[in-house]
Structure 1
Amino acid sequence: MPELRVGERQWSVAAGSNLLDALNQAGMAVPYSCRAGSCHACLVRCVQGLPSDSRPDALSDEQRRLGWRLACQCQVNEDLQVETFDPLRDGLSAVVQGADWLSSTVLRLRLQPERNLRYQAGQHLVLWTTSGVARPYSLASLPEEDRFLEFHLDCRQPGAFSDVARELKPGDPLRLGELRGGALHYDPDWQSRPLWLLAAGTGLAPLFGVLREALRQDHQGAIRVIHLAHDAGEHYLAKPLAALAANHPNLSVELLTPAELPLALGQLRLTSRQTLALLCGHPDSVDTFARRLYLSGLPRNQLLADVFLPRA
């Protein structure tokens, strides 16, 4: 049986064991969220030996060269020594600049990092509480314009991170983990093409950043934003979106509830085969959006999607 070592602790595990499970069953408390290789909350660094990795493409070549792996995607088949991600050592410190409610369930969290962070609209960060709870959240802020990092937290259900976030106040410390690319972005080469942004719930957060980036770069094509919320009161960015639409004639905004969605999707028609679509939200909503867009004739390579996977 292979031996797994973390610090001074060493124990035997069954060959082929999932690394994340092996660590957590031994009390290492490695955080995780999606278990699909997307959130990067479960980063560990291999000091000696290497596990089998089912998602080598999930990390950059440089990260892999330094030994970083996603524990949820790795299997232990030989002796292995790892270091778990330490937010105090490996992360970036930040303080809460603001925490306010955009709706009854969406908390806007604004953070000031200890140093400027280079990122692009549509990316996400792993946030760490001082108690060691880590969750990935998409950035809603815009680099070079906003002097803070903004996140929109869905607090409809209890959760280890959201329970802490509800009590945050200005000046409270947090740590920032790895910055992750994700599929959502704005490409200046798209400037003249129709751009559709379809979001469910707080999937609107990264697309709000992408939208503002497109407008900042003077996007010339038509931009269509569709936001699906549980009810009319949860269109938490309705006013900012309306203000942007009032100042940009090429921008239209549609706010939908589940009862209104089937009719609205049934009326979707492509005005151009050059249309690009960016989707974000719960997997079921993203799948519903994508299927309708494919039926409307949108080529698959012109659809970019990022899903908020439920915690496994």
Structure 2
Amino acid sequence: MPELCVGERRWVVPSGSNLLDALNEAGLAVPYSCRAGSCHACLVHCLAGQPVDALPEALALAQHAQGWRLACQCRVVEDLRVAVFDPHRDGVPARVCAVDWFGDVLRLRLKPQRALRYQAGQHVVLWLGMVARPYSLASLPGEDDFLEFHIDCQRPGAFCDLARGLQVGDGIRLGELRGGALHYELDWQDRPLWLLAAGTGLAPLWGILREALRQGHRGEIRVVHVARDGAGHYLDGPLLEMAGVNVELVLADRMDEALAGLRPSSRQTVALVCGGAGSVERFARRLFIAGVPRGQVFADVFVEHA
């Protein structure tokens, strides 16, 4: 049976053991929330030996080549030495510079200790203590001097429970910066651009919308935001003030009715959709029925975390 080593600790595990389970069963308390390779909280560094990785594409090629792995996706088949991601050693320190509540939505703004190079639509893993969750960046690089995140705190959760207590000046750690499925391309400037969001799925689209306007987007821009209630339309003021942007604020119980009215003005329409799995599926289905080609629909699905 293979030997697993972390620091000075060594122990034997059955061949084929899930690496995350093996580490946690040994009392190392590696965080996780999705076990699907999405949250990236269980990042570990393989120093010697190689596990069988079921989802290598979840990490950037350079990061994977350096030996980083997602423990939830790995099986131990040979002797393996790993270092668990330590946010205090490996993460980027940041301070809370603003905390604002819009109903159950927390708008969190952070000042990192060093500049973070990113693009609108990307995600960052946030660490509070040893609890980690990925969140989309809502800020715009080169314009905002902070990193902004929109956190839905309606339901209890390990990260949300801690986030509710955050105050200006508190410390937080930034983990991995990840490329999201959503972005803005310069060659879209003359094409209709539709941005469809449910809940805090608006976060990455808020950054992308402002990026499109900064780049001088000339085509139609349409924003559809679905929320549980009026308070859930937490960016209604700034959105409605944007010149040249058609904004539709929809309550969840009227979502299907609103989507049925979508009529693209061109087959060149590009649609970016974001939210929970159910909402994204409904967006995508309606866009297909409306005639937007599948290759012009880009989706980012938020995974629910405990």
* TM-score bucket of the superposed structures, by smaller chain: over 0.9
Q: CA deviation at 1:229?
A: 0.6
Normalised by the length of structure 1, the TM-score is 0.95
Alignment gaps of 5+ in structure 1: none
In structure 1, what is the equivalent of residue 184 of structure 2?
A: 186
In structure 2, what is the equivalent of residue 110 of structure 1?
A: 109
In structure 1, what is the equivalent of residue 85 of structure 2?
A: 85
Indicate which of 286, 291, 297 corresponds to 1:292. 286
Q: Distance in 2 between matches of 1:24 and 1:274?
A: 49
Q: Which is worse superposed, 217-226 or 17-26?
A: 17-26
Q: CA deviation at 1:88?
A: 1.4
Divergent runs of 4+, >6 A: none
In structure 1, what is the equivalent of residue 205 of structure 2?
A: 207
Q: CA deviation at 1:61?
A: 2.0
In structure 1, what is the equivalent of residue 149 of structure 2?
A: 151
Normalised by the length of structure 2, the TM-score is 0.97
Q: Describe the SS at the equivalent of 2:238.
A: helix
1:98 aligns with 2:98: yes
Q: Distance in 1 between matches of 2:62 and 2:45?
A: 12
In structure 2, what is the equivalent of residue 54 of structure 1?
A: 54
In structure 2, what is the equivalent of residue 273 of structure 1?
A: 267
In structure 1, what is the equivalent of residue 123 of structure 2?
A: 124
Q: CA deviation at 1:36?
A: 2.1
Q: Distance in 1 between matches of 2:282 and 2:21?
A: 32
Aligned 1:16-31 pairs, distance under 5 A: 16-31=16-31
Deviations 1:166-206 (A, max 9, x none): 11111111111010001011111111111111111101001
- State the AA in 2 paired with 1:191: Q
In structure 2, what is the equivalent of residue 283 of structure 1?
A: 277
What count of residue pairs does the alignment treat as equivalent?
Answer: 306
Alignment gaps of 5+ in structure 2: none
Q: Distance in 1 between matches of 2:289 and 2:2?
A: 50
Deviations 1:48-84 (A, max 9, x none): 1111111111222211221001112111111211101
Conserved 8 A contact 2:157-2:305? no
Percent identical among aligned pairs is 65
Conserved 8 A contact 2:240-2:247? yes
- State the AA in 2 paired with 1:147: D
Q: Distance in 2 between matches of 1:218 and 1:115?
A: 29
Q: Distance in 1 between matches of 2:178 and 2:147?
A: 14
Q: Which is worse superposed, 21-30 or 114-123?
A: 21-30
Q: Distance in 1 between matches of 2:231 and 2:132?
A: 29
Q: Distance in 1 between matches of 2:296 and 2:16?
A: 38
Q: CA deviation at 1:33?
A: 2.6
Q: Distance in 1 between matches of 2:116 and 2:135?
A: 15
Q: Distance in 1 between matches of 2:183 and 2:168?
A: 30
Q: CA deviation at 1:12?
A: 2.2
Aligned 1:30-49 pairs, distance under 5 A: 30-49=30-49
In structure 1, what is the equivalent of residue 161 of structure 2?
A: 163
Q: Which is worse superposed, 146-155 or 159-168?
A: 159-168
Q: Describe the SS at the equivalent of 1:260.
A: helix
Q: Distance in 1 between matches of 2:17 and 2:292?
A: 41
In structure 2, what is the equivalent of residue 239 of structure 1?
A: 237
Q: CA deviation at 1:278?
A: 0.7
- State the AA in 2 paired with 1:139: L
Deviations 1:244-275 (A, max 9, x none): 1xx2x2x1111111221111111212221111
Q: Which is worse superposed, 9-18 or 204-213?
A: 9-18
Q: What RMSD, in angstroms, separates the aligned Cα atoms of the two structures?
A: 1.2
Q: Describe the SS at the equivalent of 1:185.
A: coil
Q: Describe the SS at the equivalent of 1:140.
A: coil
- State the AA in 1 paired with 2:296: Q
1:67 aligns with 2:67: yes
Q: Distance in 1 between matches of 2:67 and 2:51?
A: 10
- State the AA in 2 paired with 1:171: G
Q: Distance in 2 between matches of 1:296 and 1:162?
A: 37
